[in-house]
């Protein structure tokens, strides 16, 4: 009995970028879950703030400079991040390698500053509810930052090996760019809550 294929799929691409990629949707779902965690933490912060007229509970104001430097670094990183995405769509191996190295450094830089950011809160996590919420918000975002930087570094190393020549890796770069945007965007409201909302009271 002879067999013949009913449809030849050999010419279809082995990977896609953006919504055409299943991993993009997985990354989107992951961000939705994590975004809900951020929303719950911010909601708890705002709820507690409504219970006390003096929300800082007599605690000193946090030093906003480390957080502001982190914010500036994040904003600066958006441009090379999207340039990297363009190179990944073109499957340009050399620019992608350079872009990943740049993004690895731009991911490590906020982590270095954040080492000084926790003490700059001027309160310990167990002092009171205000201190606990500051540490939860900053700690939650730091966890996501570490996760993305780790992923970027691993992807950078892979792109310098024979695995980097796999088309699928360029799709992974696009997903990494997508997630970095999430890390940057979620930081903005957290930055405002931690450093500027207490100053409005």
97 vs 160: CA distance, rounded Å: 7
160: pLDDT strictly greater than 70: yes
Query: Which residues in 162-178 are b (16+ Cβ under 10 Å) and which e?
Result: eebeeeebbbbbbbbbb
153 vs 17: CA distance, rounded Å: 20
Q: Which fold has domain 19-53+65-200?
A: 1.20.120
Mean pLDDT for 139-156 is: 95
Q: Which of 172, 145, 142 is nearest to 157 (CA)?
A: 172
Dihedral sign, Cα of residue 121, residue 124, residue 128, residue 129: positive
The position carrying tokens 């946090």 is 62
Span 23-77, pLDDT tens digits: 888 888 989 999 999 999 999 999 998 888 788 888 888 999 999 999 999 999 9
Between 8 and 78, residue with greater pLDDT: 78
Which pTM does this prediction carry?
Answer: 0.86
Mean pLDDT value across the chain: 88
* Rg (alpha carbons) of the chain, rounded to whole number: 21
Q: What does each C-alpha distance from 155 to 24, 38, 58, 80, 161 come to in angstroms?
A: 16, 26, 46, 16, 10
Query: Which residues in 70-101 are b (16+ Cβ under 10 Å) and which e?
Result: bbebbeebeebbebbbebbeeeebeebebbbe
DSSP state of 49: H
């Amino acid at each position: 009995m002879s067999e013949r294929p009913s449809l030849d799929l050999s010419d279809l691409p082995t990977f896609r970028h953006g919504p055409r990629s299943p991993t993009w949707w997985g990354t989107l779902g992951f961000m939705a879950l994590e975004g809900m965690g951020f929303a719950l933490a911010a909601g708890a912060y705002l709820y507690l703030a409504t219970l006390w007229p003096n929300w800082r509970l007599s605690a000193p104001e946090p030093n906003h400079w480390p957080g502001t430097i982190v914010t500036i670094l994040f904003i600066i990183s958006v441009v090379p991040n999207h340039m990297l995405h363009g190179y990944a769509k073109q499957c340009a191996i050399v620019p992608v390698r350079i872009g990943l190295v740049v993004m690895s450094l731009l991911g490590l830089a906020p982590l270095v500053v954040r080492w000084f950011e926790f003490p700059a809160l001027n309160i310990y996590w167990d002092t009171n509810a205000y201190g606990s919420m500051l540490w939860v918000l900053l700690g939650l975002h730091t966890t996501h930052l570490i996760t993305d930087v780790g992923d970027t570094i691993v992807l950078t190393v892979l792109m310098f090996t024979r695995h980097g020549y796999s088309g699928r890796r360029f799709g992974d770069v696009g997903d990494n760019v997508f997630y970095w945007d999430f890390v940057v965007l979620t930081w903005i409201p957290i930055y405002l809550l931690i450093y500027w909302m207490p100053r409005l009271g």
